[in-house]
Chains A and B, each alone.
Chain A
């Protein structure tokens, strides 16, 4: 596979990971995922609605098993204990599934991660054999500790979850990318295609997003835009951008042979 993204020993052609929340219905979810070209999709784990589930469609029926790798998350968990319990349930639900997205939140308003609880949960999950992709603040020290614990991917926020504010601190992101030996993915905060492209140009291995697609006026079209942006950003990163020249322009056209009305 050319320029594959490898996470926990499995290779993926797409570097765009997409969440399944907030779409109009499951059909729109499926259409957007299809347009995005993604291979890894996140799902949440929630209590079943007792007594009113008869005939209710199930998300999993819209996610063909042979096409998508599911990434159960711990969204909504505020303690290491709840996150670990949720992912043990996910493992049972998805037939001994190991690849998970850990996120432990610290505040219901800004959804910022609680790093103390995140680190604690990561330790337990790695010990229990999970492949942990971990949502983290863009703190390079926390990122390094998560990698040392054995997380298989580090996923710093670009900005707050669902905010669409884009990459607020490219410098921190770069510090994390430069030191990491496991894939680094931007998770959360992407608002539009250019945000995804910038993340990839910085050297991220992938981008995970949900709201940027689901809350677009036309989610399926935005999904395609994101696919192209991630690809374009990756190509630009690999191509190596030209150096920035501050305070000095250089023409692209030859200096000689310009016609002139000047005499002599």
Chain B
């Protein structure tokens, strides 16, 4: 089991490889999102090259209405 903290929520996964794979697992493929991994922005081009480890912290954001 791998534990990730995504948007402040602790989540467990049987197997987790890259950030790109996680996007599929979370059903976020095709959405306009941006991701921060342990405090660092991960450019879209690096999603497939970013390996996740137990305890990693992720922020996944979208644009919403605001003033």
Contacts and interface: CB of A to CB of B under 8 A. Distances in A.
Contacts of B8: 47
B48 interface: no
A contact residues, range: 35 or more
B1 interface: no
B63 A72 contact: yes
A59 B61 contact: no
Interface string A37-70: 0000011111110110110001110000000001
A220 B8 CA distance: 37
B44 A92 contact: yes
A29 B64 CA distance: 12
Interface string B25-67: 0111001111110010111100000000000000111111111
A53 B65 contact: no
A75 B60 contact: no
Contacts of B62: 45-46, 48, 58, 93
A47 B60 CA distance: 6
Contacts, number: 107
A43 B27 contact: no
B65 A43 contact: yes
Given A48-B31, A93-B32, A73 B63 contact: no
A50 B7 contact: yes
Q: Is the interface of A mostly helix, strand, loop or mixed?
A: mixed
A123 B9 CA distance: 31
Interface stretch (A19-27, A142-150, A255-263): A19-27
Nearest to A20: B65
Interface stretch (A82-90, A171-179, A227-235): A82-90
Given A53-B28, A54-B27, A93-B32, A60 B63 contact: yes
A210 interface: yes
25 contacts: A20-B65, A20-B67, A21-B65, A22-B65, A29-B65, A42-B66, A43-B64, A44-B65, A45-B34, A45-B61, A47-B59, A48-B60, A50-B9, A50-B60, A53-B31, A58-B62, A59-B65, A60-B63, A89-B59, A92-B35, A93-B61, A161-B67, A162-B67, A209-B67, A211-B67
Interface of A: 19-23, 26, 29, 42-48, 50-51, 53-54, 58-60, 70, 72-73, 75, 85-86, 88-94, 161-162, 208-211
